[in-house]
Amino acid sequence: MIVMKNICKTYKVTRRNAGFKEAARSFFRRETETVTALDHVSFTIHDGETVGYIGPNGAGKSTTVKILSGILTPDSGECLVDGRVPWKNRIRHVAQIGVIFGQRSQLWWDVPVIDSFELLRDIYSIPPDTYRANLDEMTELLGLSEILRTPTRQLSLGQRMRCELAASLLHSPKILFLDEPTIGLDAVSKIAVREFIVKRNRAHGTTVILTTHDMQDIEAITRRIILIGKGKILLDGGLDELRRGGEDIDHTVAELYRSYEI
């Protein structure tokens, strides 16, 4: 279970006007501005839920995921993931979660994918039987048998994302954070990724928290939506409640953004 209570996080951003004079001036004196990324964010997610975490760019989605995965320390507020405070005992916490950042890669660039997997096996101290079972299952579901022996640098984006998914689930995490997992993928790969996530959730009861701008992802994977804008939670509810008759999901969400002026 994930509980977030009144989490706040601010960043310092340096600002200056254009031009050489301004640049020279900022060498001596920097104007910094505090930007609020999260403003008293609270929610609770139960085991086995699939949650879509949506909002426009800069709303605070990635910050939330980074706090939940123990990478960032919030300024204030409480957060418990299965009874653990993520940033307090990072190493113990991250052993129980899986994370995918769609815009980054966790696989080693110059070596075959299987080498990266075996390294992860040792890093997470995965028992041999569990590793074997997980690897077999994912090789089959994601169609990896052809590409496991290929170096990561020679994979297409779609192939790489399938390997990334497998990599983040090898240690059977109870919670999976997906930060824009389908970004840049073609239609076939998108569908493969979505179907796999749904199957994984059904078969293993993995809690899925998904951030995305692709509303088809939301429709295919999640049951519940949390809408965040300007660092505040604006809406938290079932997907069906949101939708009005007949309208497609993209319009619904665009309408939502407009109505909240975010």
- DSSP annotation of 56 reads S
Instruction: Mention every residue, 6+ apart, whose C-beta is less than 8 A from residue 79.
Output: 2, 3, 4, 5, 7, 67, 68, 85, 86
- DSSP annotation of 154 reads G
How many other C-beta atoms are found inside a 10 Å radius of the C-beta of residue 51?
Answer: 22
- Edge-to-edge strand list for the sheet holding 175-179: 97-101, 175-179, 207-211, 50-54, 224-229, 232-238
Max CA-CA distance within the chain?
64
Q: Does 36 bind another protein (CB under 8 A)?
A: no
Q: Does 66 bind another protein (CB under 8 A)?
A: yes
Quick one: 115 or 219, whose CB is closer to another protein?
115
If we measure between CA atoms, which residue out of 237, 236, 238, 227 comes closest to residue 261?
227
Please state the closest distance from residue 255 (CB atom) to another protein, in A.
26
Q: Does 142 bind another protein (CB under 8 A)?
A: no
- Report whether 204 contacts 124 (CB < 8 A): no
Q: Does 8 bind another protein (CB under 8 A)?
A: no
Q: Kindly determine how many residues on this chain lie close enough to bind another protein according to the rule CB under 8 A.
A: 30
Quick one: 175 or 221, whose CB is closer to another protein?
175
Among 1, 3, 8, 71, binds another protein (CB under 8 A): 71
Please state the closest distance from residue 149 (CB atom) to another protein, in A.
15
Q: Which stretch binds another protein (CB under 8 A): 61-69, 135-143, 192-200, 231-239?
A: 61-69
Phi, psi (degrees; rounded to nearest 5) at 68:
-65, -25
Q: Does 260 bind another protein (CB under 8 A)?
A: no
Quick one: 106 or 172, whose CB is closer to another protein?
106
Please state the closest distance from residue 214 (CB atom) to another protein, in A.
17
Q: At what angle do helices 157-169 and 187-204 cross, to 10 degrees?
A: 10
Q: Which stretch binds another protein (CB under 8 A): 75-83, 117-125, 138-146, 188-196?
A: 117-125
Q: Which stretch binds another protein (CB under 8 A): 48-56, 121-129, 189-197, 252-260?
A: 121-129
| 257 three-state secondary structure | helix
Quick one: 74 or 220, whose CB is closer to another protein?
74
Quick one: 239 or 262, whose CB is closer to another protein?
262
Q: Return d(Cα 59, Cα 201) in angstroms, integer.
A: 27
Q: Return d(Cα 221, Cα 50) in angstroms, integer.
A: 7
Which residues of the shown chain bind another protein in the complex (CB under 8 A)? 11, 62, 66, 69-73, 90-92, 94-95, 97, 99, 101, 103-106, 108, 110-111, 115, 118-119, 122-125
